[in-house]
Amino acid sequence: MEEIVRCKIVKIPLFGEDRIGYVSVAEFGSIVPFPIERVYWIYQTPADIVRGQHAHIELRQILVAISGTINIKCEYLDGSIEEFLLDHPSKGLYVPQMVWRFINFSYQAVMICIASEKYSEMDYIRDYSKFEKLRATFMMTAH
């Protein structure tokens, strides 16, 4: 990987009004920049638990807090860190490859994940020291 691709907040269209409620939709081609291979959701995570703590080699995702609030801290291969708050069902976070993420959930938050690949454990980097090694290689080749 030659350059860092960063996470990006994605505005998901919403239709409706307070009186009747809302519908939000994420379609491939407009909101989702990759063909959708998988959708999963994470729920009932206690507030003191940090999920994530891994990076992906190929997987790209859009994460949405469809209920509650979710804090996502993203660490890139150049060592920089960005933090995002998902606090509305019409707000998504695009997460590209090679981002180490820490995810905190508020009480009863539900996160839906729209994913570019089917599940593969081989795509995970779960060992932080391996991520650090990749960072060192990136920093050597980037300068």
Residue 54 is among the residues annotated as catalytic for this protein: yes
* In the complex, least distance from residue 21 CB atom to ligand TYD, rounded to whole angstroms: 28
Q: Cβ distance 62 to 26 under 8 Å? A: yes
Residue with tokens 């994940």: 113
Distance CA 63, CA 95 (A): 8
Q: 29: Cβ–Cβ under 8 A, 6 or more apart, which residues?
A: none
Q: What part of residues 48-67 is at the interface with ligand TYD (CB under 6 A)?
A: 51-52, 54
Establish if 102 lies at the interface with ligand TYD (CB under 6 A).
Answer: no
* In the complex, least distance from residue 98 CB atom to ligand TYD, rounded to whole angstroms: 15
Q: 17: Cβ–Cβ under 8 A, 6 or more apart, which residues?
A: none
Nearer to ligand TYD, 22 or 128 (CB): 128
Residues with catalytic function: 54
Residues that bind ligand TYD (CB under 6 A): 38, 40, 42, 51-52, 54, 119
